[in-house]
Structure 1
Amino acid sequence: MLSEKQIKEFKQQLEEMKRDTEEELKDYRKEQKESDYQKDNTGEISSVADHPGNLGTDQFEQEKELTFYEQARERLMEVNDALKRIEEGRFGVSEKSGEPIPVERLEAIPTARFKVDEVEEGQS
Structure 2
Amino acid sequence: MNHLNDSQLAELKHMLLEQKKDLEKHFEQNGQENAQLGETLTDSTGELSSYDNHPADIGTETFERSRDLAINDSLQDELEQVNAALQRMKDGTYGICVESGEEIPFERLQAIPYTAYTVEHTPTRELSNDRPVEEQVMTPPPKGAGEVRQRNAGRFDDAGAWDAVEKYGTSNSPATAAKRDVTDYDENM
Check 1:110–1:72 CA distance in 2 against 1; reply closer, same or farther (3 A cut).
Answer: same
User: 1:87 pairs with 90, 93, 112, which one?
Assistant: 90
Quick one: distance in 1 between partners of 2:62 and 2:45? 16
Residue 72 (structure 1) shift: 1.0
Residue 6 (structure 1) shift: 1.1
Query: What SS does the corresponding residue of 2:31 show, helix, strand or coil?
Result: helix
- Whether 1:54 and 2:61 are equivalent positions in the alignment is no
Quick one: distance in 1 between partners of 2:92 and 2:56? 54
The residue type paired with residue 25 of structure 1 is F
Quick one: distance in 1 between partners of 2:44 and 2:109? 42
Check 1:82–1:49 CA distance in 2 against 1; reply closer, same or farther (3 A cut).
Answer: same
- Determine which structure has the larger helix proportion and give its number: 1
Quick one: distance in 1 between partners of 2:51 and 2:14? 47
| 1:63-102 equivalence runs, <5 A | 63-102=66-105
Runs of 4+ residues deviating >6 angstroms: 30-33
Partner of 1:14: 16
**Larger relative contact order (Cα-Cα within 8 Å, sequence gap ≥ 6):** 1
% identity of equivalent residues: 33
Check 1:87–1:102 CA distance in 2 against 1; reply closer, same or farther (3 A cut).
Answer: same
Task: For residues 27-48 of structure 1, give each alpha carbon's deviation from its aligned partner in whole angstroms, at most 9, with x where no partner exists.
Answer: 2228867x83762xx5x3x332
Instruction: Indicate conservation of the 8 Å contact 2:88/2:94, yes or no.
Output: yes
Residue 26 (structure 1) shift: 1.8
Give the count of matched residue pairs: 117
Task: For residues 11-68 of structure 1, give each alpha carbon's deviation from its aligned partner in whole angstroms, at most 9, with x where no partner exists.
Answer: 11100000000111122228867x83762xx5x3x33222111010010011111111
RMSD: 2.3
Residue 97 (structure 1) shift: 1.2
Instruction: Indicate conservation of the 8 Å contact 2:50/2:58, yes or no.
Output: no
Residue 93 (structure 1) shift: 0.4
Partner of 2:144: none
Query: What SS does the corresponding residue of 2:103 show, helix, strand or coil?
Result: coil
